[in-house]
Amino acid sequence: MRILVTGATGFIGTRLCELLISQGHAVIGVSRSGGGGVAGVDYRVADFANAAAIRESLAAVDCVVHLAGRAHVLSDRGDSLDLFRSVNRDASLQLARLAMEAGVGRFVFISSIGVNGNESVGQRFTEDSTPSPAAAYARSKLEAEEGLCELLQTADMQLVIIRPPLVYGADAPGNFGTLLKVVNKRIPSPFAAVRNARSIVSLDNLAQLISLAAQHPDAAGQLFLASDGSDVSTHQMLGALAQGMQKRQWSIPVPQGLLALLLKLAGKGDMYTQLCGSLVVDCSRARKVLGYEPDTDTLRALMQVGREYRSRHKSST
């Protein structure tokens, strides 16, 4: 297949391009910077506002994997909904229209589990759960999903949507990147009293799922939730990373109410929900429909991430 990947030089895009190249696909990597480090990828500089450049990149493409977007911020102050909409909704719809014009067969949109909500209460999120986005980022992703479904309802181009939870890896940005730095610097953790459960997904597992979504004939028209298939607490997550880094984990049992207040005062109330709340998902649809087989030993994978991070940051250990 000839597959175009947007956000190709990012955290997820780089690993996905590596996987697709290893599977023998022709890969066009689109990003604002252009250059990338995966051998065999045809990297292109393309701004979504430049329709001519996008059209040129879409020539003879079989599938588009749309990873690029405006990421959620780690502060409640954040960005306005309009800014998220302009990139995550409007630019995605524009790309889909151009892909339709170019005769692309499938459009894989990487959304967010935040579309379902920021906490699961009483039961796991499934593809049939009622959307309940709590943040502007997630709201813009839901609006993009809705717009794409409407746009492609009667089109020949197939739509596949994937909603991943927290994606982890040694180079991960966002909240997980913050956790890596905290463990590496031996900063005491305030999460010893937190007894939550979170579904997360490794970079490798997510890349595998996206690859299946791009190729499998039964993926057409489907929505899939992603995860490793096993759940961990924030305390367990930190412990596994510390073990991989060969460092002692310092954990303080701060009462959750106090922790919530302190993070809110620091402008990071969303971080409390993301790190201390429970969010569990059911990824069985991807297993049944696509034959998705994730590595389900999340704690072992987290320890490996800790080892990789340690080897890349030896000077700060």
- Please tell me the distance from the alpha carbon of residue 77 to that of residue 238, in angstroms, as a whole number: 26
Measure the CA–CA gap between 304 and 162, rounded to whole angstroms. 25
Catalytic status, residue 137: yes
Catalytic residue selected from 43, 137, 292, 309: 137
Which H/E stretch holds residue 225?
Answer: strand 223-225
Rounded Cα gap, residues 316 and 192, in angstroms: 25
Q: Which H or E element spans position 310?
A: helix 298-312
Give the span between the Cα atoms of 135 and 138, in whole angstroms: 5
Q: Which alpha helices (DSSP H) does 23-119 contain, by range?
A: 51-58, 81-84, 92-101
- Greatest Cα pair distance, the chain, in angstroms, is 57
Q: Which residues pair with 108 in a beta bridge?
A: 65, 160
Sheet with strand 106-110: strands edge to edge: 42-45, 26-31, 2-6, 63-66, 106-110, 158-163, 223-225
Residue 24 burial (10 A CB sphere; 0-12, 13-18, 19+): exposed
Q: Measured at the alpha carbon of residue 174, what is the angle toward residues 122 and 258, in degrees to the nearest 5?
A: 55
Cα 310 to Cα 39: distance, rounded to the nearest angstrom: 26
List active site positions: 137
